């Protein structure tokens, strides 16, 4: 009986994993960006994933370079003084 339950649980786990995705919480609007510019104190804006800036066709290429490392690196920028910085968000399972 115990082995049957273990097999059933393993089957359930395999099926459940098929429906889950690993995503960036910022890209998917699940986490707001709450950062302030260290130079002028104004709120910083999310410029999107750094991967989108890497080449002329990057927005149309397959995602994955940073995501394979379980992080999505975004460019944050200040619209007032033009300061920018990179920030990493850990990927989550949804």
Total structural domains within the chain: 1
Tokens of 19: 């429906």
Residue 58 forms part of a structural domain: yes
Residue 55 forms part of a structural domain: yes
Residue 74 forms part of a structural domain: yes
3-state secondary structure of 55: coil
Residue 36 forms part of a structural domain: yes
Burial class (CB in 10 A: 0-12, 13-18, 19+), 75: middle
Residue 5 forms part of a structural domain: no
Give the tens place of pLDDT for each residue, 11-59.
666 555 556 788 999 999 999 999 999 999 999 999 999 988 876 655 5
Residue 81 forms part of a structural domain: yes
Is the Cα torsion angle 49, 54, 59, 63 positive or negative in sign?
negative
Model confidence at 62, pLDDT cuts 50, 70, 90, reads: low
Domain extent at residue 25: 20-93
3-state secondary structure of 20: coil
Q: What is the pLDDT of residue 89?
A: 95
Residue 88 forms part of a structural domain: yes
């Amino acid at each position: 009986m115990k082995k049957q339950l273990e097999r059933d649980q393993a089957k359930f786990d395999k099926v459940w994993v098929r429906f889950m995705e690993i995503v960036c919480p910022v890209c998917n609007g699940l986490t707001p960006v709450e950062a302030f510019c260290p130079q002028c104190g104004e709120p910083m804006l999310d410029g999107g994933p750094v991967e989108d800036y890497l080449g002329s066709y990057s927005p149309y290429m397959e995602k994955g370079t940073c995501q394979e490392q379980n992080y999505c690196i975004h460019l944050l920028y200040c619209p007032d003084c033009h300061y920018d910085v990179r920030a990493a968000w850990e990927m989550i399972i949804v």
